Structure 1
Amino acid sequence: MAKMAASMAEGGEDAFRKIFKFYKRRNPPPDFSDVIDFSKRVPSDQVVPAALDPGGVSDVEAARVGLQPVRDWRAFGLQGYPGFMFISNPFMPGSQPSWVRQCLKIYPRKPNVCNLDMHMSPSDTQDIWDKSVHGLGCPPSGKTQPKTLLDRLRWVTLGYHYNWDTKTYSANHHTPFPADLHSLSSRIASACGFPGFNAEAGILNYYRSDSSLGIHVDESELDHSRPLLSFSFGTSAIFLLGGTRRQDPPTAMYMHSGDVMVMSGQSRLLYHAVPRIVAAPQGGPASETDSRGPASPLQEGSVVEPLSEQDRDACSRYTHSSRVNVTVRQVLGPGQSFPETPSSHQRTDAEQTEGRHDRPAEGERGKRRRSSSCDSVDTAET
């Protein structure tokens, strides 16, 4: 990667942008041999073991949110990226489908906010899953099917709702954060050495096969001392992690279904991007999003619930060709409060334009297919 970055850094364009374009390229396809795959058990000079705190989360607490015992997690860091941690799928076998169902069926519900609200009435977007699940559950017929609302879903915000126009959070644009996602996030954070993490804002991104996420930094939260957590479900993706400047060449890595990333300390404010959605490499981990259910009995008080046959089949069909990413943040530090802001949080037409770096965009084929309807709004991730 360093040799490729050096060769690409020549000229006027910054190194990150050149590597982003390299991995996004369709014809000819890029060489993925430099992409780090944490699911492989072979260490390298760049990949180092990361220390966890098994005592921070009991086995029972972990199981209640569908996680393996912390002592069994495979966690890594990267040389040159202090504060960055990659956990290779710590979920218990069979528990991922429950979280996928939450992302597709529960979290898009009101009062949470999604991109479809920009063009549709609240009554039309109240039951996105119920209005889409029949189309998801049907096997392909060979004919072009009309897009369901779930096909057109690009982003959902939770808790403190991110304002894409002003790039801010505010006290008067807030709804209750999902308790189950708070439990999952706090346990991951505690195991990584951040007890007391308070999940206050979440952004869910729904990636299709030709989606990408532009180069950006997550800096809108008022407290940067707490980590940013990222959960991936569904198809794999290439993630680029750079430095504090656009001129710093990034490191490429795979994100597979179930993988978790934690950005804290010096890595909390680094440039990053997702140039490409990809199939898992040959010999890589098989997706567990179509598992038939938890491999062991559910713990009392578990937030991981069995899925109905219909929900499981629909979730499996969705994740075979799409990806869901969930990022969770603590917005306010102890004693902090929001500055005074205007009460209006209406989004403008300008906010809905293409090419925003802080939210994923569709590929050119997707742009050509789209009409002026609600699926013209990009996905969102900050």
Structure 2
Amino acid sequence: MGKMAAAVSSMATLATEPGEDAFRKLFRFYRQSRPGSADLGGVIDFSAARGPRPGAIKVVRSQLNVSSVSEHDACRAGLQPVSKWQAYGLEGYPGFIFIPNPFLPGYQWHWVKQCLKLYSQKPNVCNLDKHMTKEETQNLWEQSKELLRCKEVNKRKPRSLLEKLRWVTLGYHYNWDSKKYSADHYTPFPSDLAFLSEQVAAACGFQGFRAEAGILNYYRLDSTLGIHVDRSELDHSKPLLSFSFGQSAIFLLGGLKRDEAPTAMFMHSGDIMVMSGFSRLLNHAVPRVLPHPGGEGLPHCLETSLPAVLPKDSLIEPCSVEDWQVCASYLKTARVNMTIRQVLAPDQAFPLDPVEETKGDITTDGSCHLDDQRSQVKRARLSPDS
């Protein structure tokens, strides 16, 4: 307990030192932290249902709208009945809701497979499009599955295209240079993901939420997500929904300015975060993906397979042993995060922009992109302004 208190005190000192902003100091602290040490003593773990600690922000229970989502609709999306969800908030962060893994046992398999096998396909735009032709990135899954299966036997195999994937956009495409969405670059939003998002939003009190854009981030163990604010959506009254799968990570939620020290929390596989109201436009970042405590392995919740028989009207699709073998091999050293947004208010249209976008804009890296140590030199050469 003394080491934990010392770690919290050390972080508080870091956050108040002059010079570099408080958020970036703690970002660097957690980026260099040592798993299993006192470095992570100040990180909130909602799944452990821990109470408030000295010097830590108080965790409070959040109320959900249980009657807004039927058990049948929750099950169709692979979720437990809302009455069984645990939801938490943080004092000082109104509108922030954290829901530790509300998925039915085994049902995360569907969403992992969709992220890797389906959502990564064309016509969706991804980071690889900047350096490769559409034909070369047409089906990343088919090009990668044999390499990923062989990883179990020979870890010296080169990285597959899926392992080089950093982001994919769904629906309205986000332009990383202009920081704007565009109606000119639109791909059909997946119906299963839209339904999942609508159920979660309704349970959190946001009836009528429309999933119009999604950014999928694919993290390796050395990846980070820089400090940023998601303000590009034209309607900020709707929440931002975040779904995590795979290895755990540290999420930092800060204030309106970077001189405010952020609060650190773990994101585990299956966890859902909702940022709304005041918390919708706060600075946030992911400084660290945490390796599995026992070496390369999967979180316990991913060891349970999908049921052999699924309900007839379920949106969840079966996952073959072969497909899951590829997914499991990938997730042993990675995590996937989906952030779903409503871009426009009802009856709202995109404003006319006199500046025409260039073709290269749709795949240019931006400052809030995923970053990893291996790509730092190459990225600096390609994107000097990022």
1:227 counterpart (215, 218, 239): 239
Contact 2:173–2:181 under 8 Å retained in 1: yes
Deviates most, 45-54 or 245-254:
45-54
Rounded to whole Å, the distance in 1 between the matches of 2:172 and 2:269 is 26
Deviates most, 136-145 or 320-329:
136-145
Question: CA RMSD for the aligned pairs?
Answer: 2.5
Query: What residue identity is the alignment partner of 2:359?
Result: Q
Give deviations 1:31-76, integer Å, cap 9, x for gaps: 1011000111233361111000110100000000100000000110
What's the counterpart of residue 187 of structure 1?
199
2:270 counterpart (224, 236, 258): 258
Rounded to whole Å, the distance in 2 between the matches of 1:349 and 1:15 is 32
Contact 2:175–2:363 under 8 Å retained in 1: no
Give the 5 Å matches for 1:202-351: 202-279=214-291, 286-294=299-307, 297-341=309-353, 342-347=355-360, 351=364
Rounded to whole Å, the distance in 1 between the matches of 2:334 and 2:302 is 11
Rounded to whole Å, the distance in 2 between the matches of 1:367 and 1:244 is 28
How many equivalent residue pairs?
368
Rounded to whole Å, the distance in 1 between the matches of 2:364 and 2:291 is 31
Deviation at 1:351? 3.5
Q: Relative to structure 1, is the Cα distance of residues 202 and 345 closer, same or farther in structure 2, using a 3 angstrom cutoff? A: farther
What's the counterpart of residue 58 of structure 1?
70
Query: What residue identity is the alignment partner of 1:16?
Result: F
1:359 counterpart (350, 364, 369): 369
Deviates most, 37-46 or 109-118:
37-46
**Runs (4+) off by over 3 Å:** 1-6, 26-30, 139-143, 279-282, 342-345, 348-352, 365-368, 370-373
Deviation at 1:193? 0.3
Deviates most, 286-295 or 158-167:
286-295
Rounded to whole Å, the distance in 2 between the matches of 1:111 and 1:349 is 13
Secondary structure of 1:169 counterpart? strand
Rounded to whole Å, the distance in 1 between the matches of 2:251 and 2:34 is 20
| Identical counterparts, % of pairs | 53
1:11 aligned onto 2:2: no
Give deviations 1:162-205, integer Å, cap 9, x for gaps: 00010101221111111010000000000000010000000000
Rounded to whole Å, the distance in 2 between the matches of 1:350 and 1:95 is 32
Give the 5 Å matches for 1:54-133: 54-133=66-145
Deviation at 1:280? 5.6
Contact 1:234–1:287 under 8 Å retained in 2: no
Deviation at 1:348? 5.3
Secondary structure of 1:206 counterpart? strand
Secondary structure of 1:317 counterpart? helix
Contact 2:127–2:167 under 8 Å retained in 1: yes
TM-score scaled by length of structure 2: 0.89
Q: Relative to structure 1, is the Cα distance of residues 204 and 371 closer, same or farther in structure 2, using a 3 angstrom cutoff? A: closer
Higher share of residues assigned helix = 2
TM-score scaled by length of structure 1: 0.90
Q: Relative to structure 1, is the Cα distance of residues 372 and 136 closer, same or farther in structure 2, using a 3 angstrom cutoff? A: farther
Contact 1:290–1:313 under 8 Å retained in 2: no
Rounded to whole Å, the distance in 2 between the matches of 1:346 and 1:304 is 36
What's the counterpart of residue 36 of structure 1?
44
Deviation at 1:307? 0.6
Give deviations 1:207-242, integer Å, cap 9, x for gaps: 000000111100000000000000000000000000
Q: Relative to structure 1, is the Cα distance of residues 293 and 344 closer, same or farther in structure 2, using a 3 angstrom cutoff? A: same
Deviation at 1:143? 5.2
Contact 1:204–1:325 under 8 Å retained in 2: yes
Query: What residue identity is the alignment partner of 2:330?
Result: Y
Query: What residue identity is the alignment partner of 1:321?
Result: T
Contact 2:130–2:364 under 8 Å retained in 1: no
Contact 1:16–1:250 under 8 Å retained in 2: yes
Contact 1:231–1:325 under 8 Å retained in 2: yes
Q: Relative to structure 1, is the Cα distance of residues 80 and 288 closer, same or farther in structure 2, using a 3 angstrom cutoff? A: same
Contact 1:235–1:322 under 8 Å retained in 2: yes
Q: Relative to structure 1, is the Cα distance of residues 279 and 39 closer, same or farther in structure 2, using a 3 angstrom cutoff? A: farther
Query: What residue identity is the alignment partner of 1:292?
Result: S
Contact 2:75–2:81 under 8 Å retained in 1: yes
Deviation at 1:344? 3.3
Secondary structure of 1:61 counterpart? helix
Deviation at 1:359? 1.2
Query: What residue identity is the alignment partner of 2:39?
Result: D
Deviation at 1:287? 3.5
Query: What residue identity is the alignment partner of 1:17?
Result: R
Rounded to whole Å, the distance in 2 between the matches of 1:118 and 1:101 is 24
Contact 2:129–2:363 under 8 Å retained in 1: no
What's the counterpart of residue 4 of structure 2?
none
In structure 2, stretches of 5+ residues that fail to align are: 1-6
